């Protein structure tokens, strides 16, 4: 079983990079203070991540007056009973993936086609479905974790040493958001 999943992941990565080449784009950089819309991608499998992102969405809405939509991937067939889509916090699951981990769900299609000013990908565990969405979304400026293999995927990549928690990565993103698009 593990060999099958590994083979699927390799095929998924290969097809992902082929798909990435079909979506050339030019970044549109504006200052974060001028941005109106923000999309967030994250792994919602762990309850703690969901709670962290929910608080981050509230922070961006309340403190920065941004229109925010977060899309979480739950690595299971069904969402847990206490986790359900709320206004601006949507999900997709394993059930919504094809054999090589490409997401196929109306919620995902909607997210991909929104022209966000900023996409913040909080994919610290390098999930293939989240990488796929990051690659094809119409967002103007994409921020994500640095990976040598993901060059060209994001317009701004944040390098971290070793393991990083989601709150630590969000702090790094916030630190850089203050400086992006400013002419000083």
Distance CA 145, CA 158 (A): 5
Q: Using one digit for the tens of pLDDT, what is the confidence trace for 144-165?
A: 998 877 777 889 999 988 788 9
Provide the residue ranges of all domains of the chain, joining segments of one domain with +: 2-177
Q: Nearest Cα to 141, choosing from 43, 32, 19?
A: 32
Query: Is the separation of the CB atoms in 140 and 115 below 8 Å?
Result: yes
Which two structure tokens, joined as six digits, stand for 151?
């060059």
pTM: 0.88
pLDDT (tens digit per residue) in 1-37: 455 667 767 776 676 667 767 766 778 888 999 999 9
Q: Is 25 exposed, middle or buried (0-12, 13-18, 19+ CB in 10 A)?
A: middle
- Tokens of residue 90, six digits: 């949507």
Cα–Cα distance for residue pair 72/173, rounded to 1 Å:
18
Architecture of domain 2-177: Alpha-Beta Complex (3.90)
Q: Identify the pLDDT of residue 101.
A: 82
Q: Quote the CA–CA distance of 10 and 76 in Å, as a whole number.
A: 20
């Amino acid at each position: 079983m593990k060999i099958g999943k590994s083979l699927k992941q390799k095929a998924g990565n290969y097809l992902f990079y082929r798909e990435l080449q079909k979506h050339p784009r030019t970044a549109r950089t504006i200052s974060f203070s001028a941005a109106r819309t923000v999309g967030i991608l994250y792994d919602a499998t762990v309850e703690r991540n969901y709670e962290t992102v929910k608080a981050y969405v509230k922070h961006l809405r309340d403190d920065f007056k941004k229109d925010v939509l977060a899309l979480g991937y739950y690595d299971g067939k069904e969402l847990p009973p206490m986790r359900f889509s709320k206004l601006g916090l949507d999900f997709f699951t394993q059930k919504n993936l094809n054999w090589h981990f490409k997401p196929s769900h109306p919620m995902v299609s909607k997210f991909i086609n929104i022209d966000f000013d900023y996409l913040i990908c909080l994919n610290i565990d390098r999930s293939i479905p989240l990488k796929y969405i990051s690659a094809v979304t119409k967002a103007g400026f994409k921020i994500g974790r640095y990976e040598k293999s993901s060059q060209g995927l994001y317009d701004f990549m944040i390098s971290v040493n070793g393991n990083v928690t989601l709150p630590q990565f969000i702090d790094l993103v916030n630190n850089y958001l203050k400086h992006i698009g400013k002419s000083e």
